[in-house]
A and B are shown apart, each in its own frame.
Chain A
Amino acid sequence: MTQAIASAPQTKNKDVRSLSSRIVSALRSDLGVFVLLLLLNLICYQRSLRGYFLADDFIHIPYLVKVFDNHPELLLQNFYTNWMQAQGTQFYRPLISITLALDYLVSGANPLAYHITNFSYQLASSFFLFLTTRLLFDYKTECERWSISFFAALFFAVCPLHPEVVSWVIGRVDSVATTFLLAAFWLYLRCANHASGANKTTSLICFVLSLLSKEMAVTLPPGLVLYEFLRSQGTLRQRFMSSCLRTYPYWIVLVIYLIIRSAALGTISGGYAGSIGSSLSDSIFRRFFQDGSFMYVLFPLNAELPAHWHRLVRILYYLYLAGFLVALVRALAMMRNGQFVRYSSWLGFALGWFVICLIPTYQVWNLTAALLGSRFIYLGTAPLSLLLALLVAPLAGLFDEESGSVKIGTLFQMVVATSLVGCFALMTYANNTVWATAGGQVRAFRRAVAELVGGHNCAPLAILQIPERYHGAHMLYNAAMLSVLLRPPLSEQDYYDKVFTFEPATFGDADLINVSRLRRLLSANKQIHLVTWSEQDCQLKSLHLVPNGRNIKAGGTPALPGRNNILVPGTDLTCSVDPFPVGVISPTLDIAALSVDFVDLELANVKTTGVAKMFWNSPDDPSFTSERQLILPANINRIRFDVSQHKKWILCQTIHQLKFELPSGVEIKGVQLSSAQNEVPDLRPLPAVINAGGRTMDEDKSGIARPGCVIGDFSVDVSGIKGAQKVLLQISRPDSFFEHYSGTFRDQVIEKDKSSFLKELPVSAADKISLPAKILSAPGFYELRAFATDGNGKVIGYSSDPIVLQFSARDLSQ
């Protein structure tokens, strides 16, 4: 009887265990894990499968079109030259073009196959991380092995930093490299563990494929050395030597790769060149340590998502606290059991691997609050996932083997780990929504343009603002991308032929606009249809801009003497900050935005340094949502807001009112709205004049002139600038754009180190200028601008709006 009584709870426990063990064994099989990872990834990224091409994808599509248009050698060329032979970047990623070509072979310009491939690589990376981490350490129990590898794979699969890589077609660069790198690692571990069928050659092949996908793969040999170093015994030197010896084939492959790459690119480092590269180099410390980018790694939720998603950050914070508790208790328990050294070496490996993975990104690392640039940490999330799994994944079974009761500690760990997975999955879903929406917007934009210019007698279209970025998701950055979108095979016919754009030639501030070119265009084409993309309504909206008109209708704003100025009399109102920062609102102006270049403010009582803000509204939208800010130095009586170079100002069409917010006590004496005619030289290409090379300075639809072997002909008019005696011409360095350095077209200082050419001319000689292109050092994009100077060479006013030029190597050799 006693036996019977004793057997009762055991039977019960056996039942409970049998059910749970059945579930666990099903999950533990590789197929079970794969299916689970597939489901999780599908939940997070199913919207991406219906996505579209974005940003750099538009560079690859015409390239693929060309490849399949009887130029297959281009794919081969990638193995011994710069990737896609692109200007401004130096990368070596030939395998990526091959994967894209395979997608093109399957579905042409339909984005579905590309997105399926991207998804597959994400899935493969997750699964290979599971396989790799399963063999990584000398686990004491099977449960420990399965739990850590399983949760590491889950954390990686649902990592919220991955949408950029998964949902952006060209983001696959990182997932392809990571897949092959993890595969190489896994195969190496199989060899190290003497698994049947293991072959180091296959691992080396995977490593080579990874290297051919992205330079990040160079982190594998150091990672292997770290792994072997932590695993081996002996003195530090012995351990290091034995680690190097075990991994030497990978080092040999790496050296060969570096030699080939250097030969192909002509440099050992590569990356971004021109002004983009130099501004990245100047900001390494800021990007790594001052922008809070590692905080975004810790709490990876897109800051631009709607407010209700931001609750997840708080939930994650509490889950981290719970995770910290788990890790602390675990560490204490391990210290008592004497297993802490072994466990800490695992943690050390995960941390070290993470640091190694970040090193190659030193040049480009820039993770913003909207998680832009999260692709650079894609490989790094593998060691991070491992680290998190080591900290929180349960290391023992849920049931006590003897009593059959539930282990509360294990249950708690399981709850914390699973909750983290759930929270990450929700965050990933949320982060991915912006990418899915961005794809939809680009698609809608193309449709809207086609509707406007698809007919026969449609007026040419000028798009002042294209969908550039949607809450951190890339869309269209420049006119080159727009041209691909609006031409076959992505569009039914060549719509781009009828479209003018004002986007940067390569990359730049989306709010800056070359207003001189806009005015020239409006003067030359009376019938042009001006539109802008409205993100909210997902449609193109018509604009009515008056080229140089003076659309003043409101009373109380008399135009005082002065050719182009409007004076709004002073307010005698003093700004205050109690209880709120009070803004001073102007009388109704209703003036054409395009007719004003500067807003000058006359002030009194400026005692301390502060920030001056100017807001404006339009008759259609009376809320003061657009603003410009200036640092207000102490004891100054006049400040200037340059407005016409900003799209937000121009897109307002008519400025209804201005509002100023100034430091407390500051008094506004008067406001002057002025034109740039008296201060900015008028630099114009002369499209009608054929230069010595038989070409002209005619700008294309996106504002880029290709004059061939001669820079010209163009003119500079400084007649409106008082005291101007000479004209100074400045040509930028190749692929460098002046506004990338200063953030404005309105420079007042000439920085010689930003120039490749400087020349001063008398005003009389500036009517028709031409220069030989061979004065330039290398092919690429250039900017040409002019300054007005006095007799002593001192700059008067501002630099002119630039003309963007492009030269090929052939142009420069003639």
Chain B
Amino acid sequence: MTSETNSTPTQALLTDVSLEKEYFELSSAKIQFLWMTFILFVVCLINYLPTLRCGLAQSDFQRVGIVIQATHGQWHDFLQSLQFLDLGNLYKPVGSASLLLDRVIWHSNYAGFHFTNILILFACACFIMLITLEITGTWGNRSRSAALWAGLLFAVYPLHAQAVTSLSCRDDLLTGLFFLLSLFCFLRFRLLRERLYQRWFFLFFALLVLESKSALVLPVVMLLSVPLLPSQLQGANARILRKYRAQDCSLAVACCLVPFACLVYKFKLFEMGVDFNNLAAWAQTFALPTILDPESFKRMLLPVNAQLQWPRVFPILLICPLILAAVSCILRLTRECSLIRALILLFLWLLLGLLPSWDHWHIYRNLVGSNLFFSSSAPLCAAVAIASIPSADVLSRKVANWLTCFGAPALAILFFAWSYALQQNITPFVVAAEILHKSALELHKISSAAPPNRGIVVLDLPHDYKGAPLFTSESLKLSVEPPFNPYKDTVSVIDTLLGGKSDYLWPDEIKRALKTADAFCWSEAKQSFVSLTTVAGKSHPAVVDNYMAATLDPPNAWSGSDRQWHLGAPQNPGFETYPTYRRLIPAMAKAGRKAPPVMTIMIPVSNIDPFDKTVALLNINFHGSDVDRQKCQFVWRSRNPGDAQTSLHQATIDKNLVWLGHYKRWLLNGEPTSIGFRLEPGNYCVDVGAIQLMDDASLKPVLLVDNQVFAPAQVLPYSENLKSKFSWQARRVHDCQSVMLVISDPDTPASTKGDGTAYSGKIASESRHVSKDGTVQLPDLNIPEGLSQIQVIALDAKGQRIGLPSEPVTIFR
């Protein structure tokens, strides 16, 4: 029996007569949805319009470079980037493909690339809207206003600045999009049981698997949604509901297996050998503090770049709407019990979304790392919207109106506050883009003016501008070579090759480079490259003992001789003069009082060539605990403004050593004008004698490759057939009896602690050799896969390390 035969005469009449509508039915769902989509698009475009001016920055060069090469017929690198199962390859195939598409459409107009990012964000906002509709539909009528607010909040969420502005964060955007698409399809499938949605779900889930580890999170969210968002399938009885629930759970579990299998293969999960005995210690020291970092959580609700200026009341403006929304939500909880389930689901989704990046999850003060929160911000926005807007059909109309009076203004305030914050957060990216553009022109000018046989060395590159990426050695090298620029052969960069603190350099490497090239440093004040000034200093060691001419900060710090009565306050620092030394006494903190001042004592120096005097030997006697030792810093000032400091490293009991030459701020800041100590408040004191400034040559061994010096910034490619010979010379290190050859962990700098004289503990292997001078063949060294560094360390008769480590050799296997 067909439906026509069952229909009533009135129905038949209605189907026969098709009347054309005379006006738009504004209350219809489709029209409203179109309007909502349009509003979202306008909001996204207006807020992110300045990003169209941003060009390429840092790792964008590499990704876009591969794409450009592919369009020129060199497909090798691009095809390699599509192999998502290749270990160590961070590029995602869908992200690379999308950039290729951008290149095909927009050619070298990078504004188009950024426009694509905005479109993806807009799509994400639309799907957040749709998902919110689905969620609110589980306990009442679908709340369109809540859905629209969720989409709007997502579109202006200030932590999205980095994700949308950087092209290298395209993967984060696509991950978020596929996640939301997959989840929406799953929720629709649960509601309608239509195969079409199931097929779409599989497609988007497959793309998500290709793109990100977040694919592991989606099935868990799906699984949680089964009990927390009860199915509203109409006409189904309990048995059918049970069956459907079982199906949904099976689907989620099956989906879980796919990305898990990929991860097992990709990251060799079972070969890592998790040490279950140390699991608790591992969780304590690493994972828990990283994931449960309260500062990062705070920045989710106060998403402002701390390096920018903000109105004083602005944090209140950001928090008050959230409090209003929370109050509105709490009031509703007494009547709208199902709301809590939805909120629990969204909260768990937010937390689970962070898990794929558990090892590096952190949002810094300048919001670097906020791209990791792109996907997880979706549930946050949805939760705020759902918590604020009540559903009138569950509550009485009167109650709903009252609660809306709380929620709607709160959301409106939050929307405008977030929008303002987003504009501010985007500003550094726009400024950074301008700086990069300007510096490219300047480099072009400098390289054109350089003599034919003389190169250019670029030093001291700022890595970021208030959180927006600027230069790295790698990106600068890429930016000066084709296809972006043509002056590859004349410009070289000396910077940290691996991660770690960007303040460190290898002084000998620069000294060698200066023989054949002119050095230029980036000047923060002038926002341009300036020529490095060299200082003609004395060649013999300099002894600094002129405490009488020292300056003290704070100015009211007390001083006195040990031979006479003098005044001293525990909350005020000062120093006592003894016949052979000075006793520096920091302020002591007293409970409940304002923090006492930090004491800085600076002794003037002159005629010091920073490239010649690379080590400071301190005659120090420290009275206090090891914790207090960290509070005492060695400080120096140079011609260029700004203090630099480092904590003291204890070489022996009485003698302390600071490897000044390892610091950019010592080598590149011009002539040093004073050196001294900075003491934070604490219950300790330091007896200091004369300070000796000297060359580091007699303190460190030399490591050669095939009897040649190999610069740390260069990379030695490893192959099984390579017969390179590593030789070391440690004879000139005083008291050296043997040496230790240290190979760092892959992609870890050789020394990352303090001033480079101590090790971070991330060592792949170490081998001891009895002879002061010796040789070893490369195959004999157990080089791990990845980028590692090799160093030689001198040891004394007791096997204790002495002096400084050699300059490293960087090797890639």
Q: Are B237 and A622 neighbours in the complex by a CB distance under 8 Å? A: no
0/1 string, A405-429, CB within 8 A of B gives 1: 1101100000000000000000000
0/1 string, B236-261, CB within 8 A of A gives 1: 11100110000000000000000000
Q: Are B568 and A585 neighbours in the complex by a CB distance under 8 Å? A: yes
- Give every chain B residue within 8 A of A409 (Cβ-Cβ): 334
* Closest B residue to A656 using CB positions: B562
Q: Are A581 and B623 neighbours in the complex by a CB distance under 8 Å? A: no
Centre residue among A588, A623, A668 by max chain B CB count within 10 A: A623
Task: Identify which of A7, A568, A579, A586 contacts B237 (C-beta below 8 A).
Answer: A7
A5 vs B232: C-alpha distance when bound (angstroms): 9
* Closest B residue to A11 using CB positions: B238
A657 vs B578: C-alpha distance when bound (angstroms): 13
Is B122 an interface residue when CB atoms closer than 8 A count as contact? no
Is A1 an interface residue when CB atoms closer than 8 A count as contact? yes
Q: Are A659 and B568 neighbours in the complex by a CB distance under 8 Å? A: yes
Task: Identify which of A4, A10, A581, A668 contacts B569 (C-beta below 8 A).
Answer: A581
Is A545 an interface residue when CB atoms closer than 8 A count as contact? no
Is B124 an interface residue when CB atoms closer than 8 A count as contact? no
Q: Are B684 and A623 neighbours in the complex by a CB distance under 8 Å? A: yes
0/1 string, A118-151, CB within 8 A of B gives 1: 0000000000000000000000000000000000
Known pairs A580-B571, A623-B623; A587 contacts B235 (CB<8 A): no
Task: Identify which of B227, B235, B585 contacts A5 (C-beta below 8 A).
Answer: B235
0/1 string, A582-597, CB within 8 A of B gives 1: 1111111000000000
A202 vs B175: C-alpha distance when bound (angstroms): 71
A673 CB to closest chain B CB, in angstroms?
15
Q: Are B566 and A585 neighbours in the complex by a CB distance under 8 Å? A: yes
What does DSSP make chain B's interface, helix, strand, loop or mixed?
loop
A43 CB to closest chain B CB, in angstroms?
14
- Give every chain B residue within 8 A of A561 (Cβ-Cβ): none
A579 vs B338: C-alpha distance when bound (angstroms): 59
Q: Are B569 and A586 neighbours in the complex by a CB distance under 8 Å? A: no
- Give every chain A residue within 8 A of B684 (Cβ-Cβ): 623
Known pairs A406-B337, A555-B563, A584-B567; A4 contacts B238 (CB<8 A): yes
0/1 string, A65-87, CB within 8 A of B gives 1: 00000000000000000000000
* Closest B residue to A615 using CB positions: B570
Q: Are A588 and B563 neighbours in the complex by a CB distance under 8 Å? A: yes
Q: Are B565 and A571 neighbours in the complex by a CB distance under 8 Å? A: yes
* Closest A residue to B230 using CB positions: A12
* Closest A residue to B339 using CB positions: A408
Task: Identify which of A1, A571, A624, A657 contacts B235 (C-beta below 8 A).
Answer: A1
A11 vs B230: C-alpha distance when bound (angstroms): 11
Is B283 an interface residue when CB atoms closer than 8 A count as contact? no
Q: Are B565 and A585 neighbours in the complex by a CB distance under 8 Å? A: yes
Is A9 an interface residue when CB atoms closer than 8 A count as contact? yes
Q: Are B242 and A11 neighbours in the complex by a CB distance under 8 Å? A: yes
Q: Are B337 and A408 neighbours in the complex by a CB distance under 8 Å? A: yes
Known pairs A406-B337, A408-B333; A9 contacts B566 (CB<8 A): no
The A-contacting residues of B in range 180-236, CB under 8 angstroms, are 227, 230-231, 234-236
Q: Are A9 and B685 neighbours in the complex by a CB distance under 8 Å? A: no
Q: Are A8 and B241 neighbours in the complex by a CB distance under 8 Å? A: yes
Q: Are B564 and A583 neighbours in the complex by a CB distance under 8 Å? A: no
Known pairs A7-B237, A580-B570, A584-B567; A623 contacts B683 (CB<8 A): yes
* Closest B residue to A4 using CB positions: B237
A17 CB to closest chain B CB, in angstroms?
13
Q: Are B238 and A586 neighbours in the complex by a CB distance under 8 Å? A: no
Q: Are A7 and B567 neighbours in the complex by a CB distance under 8 Å? A: no
* Closest A residue to B683 using CB positions: A623
Q: Are B568 and A582 neighbours in the complex by a CB distance under 8 Å? A: yes
Is A236 an interface residue when CB atoms closer than 8 A count as contact? no
Task: Identify which of A406, A554, A555, A583 contacts B570 (C-beta below 8 A).
Answer: A583
Is B572 an interface residue when CB atoms closer than 8 A count as contact? yes
0/1 string, B539-571, CB within 8 A of A gives 1: 000000000000000001010101111111111
* Closest B residue to A14 using CB positions: B238
Q: Are B235 and A4 neighbours in the complex by a CB distance under 8 Å? A: yes
Interface size class on chain A is 35 or more
A583 vs B570: C-alpha distance when bound (angstroms): 8
Q: Are B567 and A573 neighbours in the complex by a CB distance under 8 Å? A: yes
Q: Are A622 and B685 neighbours in the complex by a CB distance under 8 Å? A: yes
Q: Are B334 and A408 neighbours in the complex by a CB distance under 8 Å? A: yes
Is B120 an interface residue when CB atoms closer than 8 A count as contact? no
Q: Are B227 and A16 neighbours in the complex by a CB distance under 8 Å? A: yes
A307 CB to closest chain B CB, in angstroms?
10
* Closest A residue to B572 using CB positions: A580
Task: Identify which of B338, B572, B576 contacts A405 (C-beta below 8 A).
Answer: B338
Is B392 an interface residue when CB atoms closer than 8 A count as contact? no
Is A625 an interface residue when CB atoms closer than 8 A count as contact? yes
Is B582 an interface residue when CB atoms closer than 8 A count as contact? no
Is B513 an interface residue when CB atoms closer than 8 A count as contact? no
- Give every chain B residue within 8 A of A581 (Cβ-Cβ): 569-571
Is B583 an interface residue when CB atoms closer than 8 A count as contact? yes
Is B431 an interface residue when CB atoms closer than 8 A count as contact? no
Q: Are A621 and B565 neighbours in the complex by a CB distance under 8 Å? A: no
Is A556 an interface residue when CB atoms closer than 8 A count as contact? yes
The B-contacting residues of A in range 1-42, CB under 8 angstroms, are 1, 4-5, 7-12, 16
Is B399 an interface residue when CB atoms closer than 8 A count as contact? no
Is B510 an interface residue when CB atoms closer than 8 A count as contact? no
B585 CB to closest chain A CB, in angstroms?
8
- Give every chain A residue within 8 A of B234 (Cβ-Cβ): 5
* Closest A residue to B684 using CB positions: A623
Is B740 an interface residue when CB atoms closer than 8 A count as contact? no
Task: Identify which of B238, B565, B571 contacts A8 (C-beta below 8 A).
Answer: B238
The B-contacting residues of A in range 653-679, CB under 8 angstroms, are 657, 659, 668
Is B300 an interface residue when CB atoms closer than 8 A count as contact? no
* Closest B residue to A412 using CB positions: B333
* Closest B residue to A570 using CB positions: B565
- Give every chain A residue within 8 A of B227 (Cβ-Cβ): 16
Is B635 an interface residue when CB atoms closer than 8 A count as contact? no
A8 vs B572: C-alpha distance when bound (angstroms): 73
Is B430 an interface residue when CB atoms closer than 8 A count as contact? no
Known pairs A12-B230, A408-B334, A623-B683; A588 contacts B562 (CB<8 A): yes
- Give every chain B residue within 8 A of A5 (Cβ-Cβ): 234-236
- Give every chain A residue within 8 A of B562 (Cβ-Cβ): 554, 587-588, 657
A1 vs B569: C-alpha distance when bound (angstroms): 86
Is B340 an interface residue when CB atoms closer than 8 A count as contact? yes
Q: Are B569 and A587 neighbours in the complex by a CB distance under 8 Å? A: no
Q: Are B623 and A582 neighbours in the complex by a CB distance under 8 Å? A: no
A577 vs B563: C-alpha distance when bound (angstroms): 24
A588 vs B583: C-alpha distance when bound (angstroms): 13
- Give every chain A residue within 8 A of B334 (Cβ-Cβ): 408-409
Q: Are B230 and A9 neighbours in the complex by a CB distance under 8 Å? A: yes
- Give every chain A residue within 8 A of B241 (Cβ-Cβ): 8, 11-12
Q: Are A585 and B238 neighbours in the complex by a CB distance under 8 Å? A: no
A5 vs B238: C-alpha distance when bound (angstroms): 8
- Give every chain B residue within 8 A of A587 (Cβ-Cβ): 562-565
A403 vs B564: C-alpha distance when bound (angstroms): 85
Q: Are B565 and A582 neighbours in the complex by a CB distance under 8 Å? A: no
A54 CB to closest chain B CB, in angstroms?
27
0/1 string, B295-337, CB within 8 A of A gives 1: 0000000000000000000000000000000000000011001
Task: Identify which of A405, A554, A579, A585 contacts B560 (C-beta below 8 A).
Answer: A585
CB-defined A-B contacts under 8 Å, sample of 15? A5-B234, A8-B241, A11-B238, A405-B337, A406-B337, A408-B334, A573-B566, A580-B571, A583-B569, A584-B567, A587-B562, A587-B563, A588-B562, A621-B623, A623-B683
Given contacts A16-B227, A584-B568, 13 further A-B contacts (CB under 8 A): A4-B238, A5-B236, A7-B238, A8-B237, A409-B334, A554-B562, A556-B564, A570-B565, A580-B572, A582-B567, A587-B563, A588-B563, A621-B623
Closest A-B pairs by Cβ, 7 of them = A4-B237, A571-B565, A580-B569, A405-B337, A580-B571, A11-B238, A588-B562
